[in-house]
C-alpha cells in the first residue's frame, strides 16, 4: 500500500478527496499507482486517511478515502537537533536519519569551524525530511529552519557534545519531555563556543572515547536520548 504525504487536499461533493498537484505527480509518475490501488494519506497535523484510488491522471488523483485513527508513532520526547553545517550530502544524511529517529525540529547552525557557505537549500532538506517521514511512517514532518548563528541558537535545556569533554551524558528526570542536542561541524566546536554554551546553561558531554564523525555523532546522540527518555527500545 502506498503511503503519501499531502500538503493540501479538496473534499469533493461526492465525498472523495482530490490531493495537491505535487502529491498527485508523485502517486501517478513516481509510484505508478493506478485506479483501484489502495493508498494511505497523511498530512503534517496528524490526520490520516485510507482508501482506494478512484481516478488518476498526470496531475490529478482522486481517492475514495475515509479518516483513520492516527497511529501512535511519535515519541513523547521532543528533540530539537542543532547541527553544525556539514559539507555536501552529510547534511542530507543527518536530516534523513534524524527524521527516522523521531526528531521534532532540526536547526542548522553556523559555527566557527563550519563551512563558509551553505549549499544545501532548506527546501531540499525539507523534501528529504518529507520523504523520510513517508518511508518510516511518521505522522509529523520535522520542522527545518534557516541556519542560525551559534549564539542565537543557545536556549532551553540541552546538551552540547564535545569530544574533549570527560563528562558522560547527564541523568535527567524521566518526566523530561523536551531537550536540545548540539552537534558540531566536521571540525567540532571551539573552546570558546563550549565556554559560551556553558554560560547559557547547556551541559557539556562526550559520546565516548572515540572521536565520531559529525554525522555519526548526530545519529548516536539522538538514539541515546530516545532510548533513555523517548520511545526506542532494544528488548
Is 235 within a domain? no
Q: Would residue 123 count as lying in a domain?
A: yes
Which grid coordinates are listed for 199?
554560560
Dump pLDDT digits (tens) for 21-64: 888 888 888 888 889 899 888 887 778 888 899 998 877 889 99
**For the segment 156-169, what is each residue's pLDDT rounded down to a tens digit?**
689 999 998 878 88
CB 61 within 8 A of CB 19: yes
Q: Which of 159, 149, 147 is nearest to 197 (CA)?
A: 159
% of the chain beyond a pLDDT of 70: 97
Task: Choose the final residue of a domain: 29, 50, 68.
Answer: 68
CA-wise closest residue to 128 among 100, 104, 155, 88: 100
Q: Which of 41, 68, 95 is the last residue of a domain?
A: 68
Domain with 26 in it: 2-68
**What is the CATH number for 12?**
2.40.240.20
Q: Which residue has the cell 532548506?
A: 122
Q: Are 126 and 57 found together in one domain?
A: no
Q: Is residue 138 part of a domain?
A: yes
- Half-sphere exposure for 80 (CA within 13 Å, toward CB): 19
- In this structure, are 38 and 129 located in the same domain? no
The pLDDT tens digits for 181-222 are 999 999 999 999 999 999 999 999 999 999 999 999 999 999
- List, for residues 130-145, the tens digit of each pLDDT value: 889 988 888 889 999 9
Phi-psi region of 32 (alpha: psi -120 to 50; beta: other; left: phi over 0): left
Q: What is the pLDDT of residues 71-99, one digit of tens each?
A: 888 899 999 999 999 988 999 999 999 99
Name the pTM for this structure.
0.85
Amino acid at each position: 500500500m502506498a503511503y503519501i504525504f499531502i500538503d493540501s487536499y479538496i473534499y469533493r461533493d461526492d465525498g472523495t478527496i482530490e490531493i495537491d498537484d505535487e502529491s498527485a505527480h508523485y502517486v501517478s509518475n513516481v509510484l505508478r499507482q493506478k485506479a483501484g490501488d489502495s493508498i494511505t494519506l497523511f498530512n503534517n497535523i496528524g490526520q490520516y486517511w485510507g482508501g482506494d484510488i478512484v481516478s488518476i491522471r498526470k496531475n490529478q488523483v482522486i481517492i475514495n478515502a475515509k479518516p483513520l485513527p492516527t497511529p501512535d508513532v511519535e515519541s513523547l520526547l521532543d528533540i530539537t537537533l542543532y547541527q553544525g553545517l556539514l559539507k555536501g550530502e552529510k547534511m542530507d544524511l543527518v536530516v534523513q536519519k534524524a527524521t527516522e529517529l523521531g526528531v521534532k525540529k532540526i536547526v542548522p547552525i553556523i559555527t566557527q569551524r563550519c563551512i563558509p557557505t551553505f549549499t544545501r537549500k532548506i527546501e531540499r532538506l525539507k523534501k528529504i525530511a518529507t520523504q523520510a517521514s513517508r518511508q518510516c511512517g511518521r505522522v509529523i514532518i520535522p520542522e527545518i529552519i534557516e541556519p542560525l548563528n551559534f549564539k542565537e541558537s543557545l536556549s532551553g535545556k540541552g546538551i552540547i557534545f564535545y569530544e574533549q569533554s570527560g563528562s558522560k551524558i547527564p541523568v535527567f528526570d524521566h518526566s523530561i519531555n523536551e531537550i536540545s542536542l548540539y552537534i558540531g561541524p566536521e571540525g567540532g566546536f571551539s573552546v570558546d563556543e563550549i565556554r559560551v554554551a556553558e554560560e547559557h546553561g547547556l551541559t557539556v558531554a562526550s559520546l565516548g572515547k572515540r572521536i565520531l564523525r559529525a554525522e555519526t555523532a548526530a545519529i548516536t546522540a539522538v538514539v541515546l536520548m530516545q532510548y533513555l527518555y523517548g520511545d526506542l527500545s532494544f528488548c
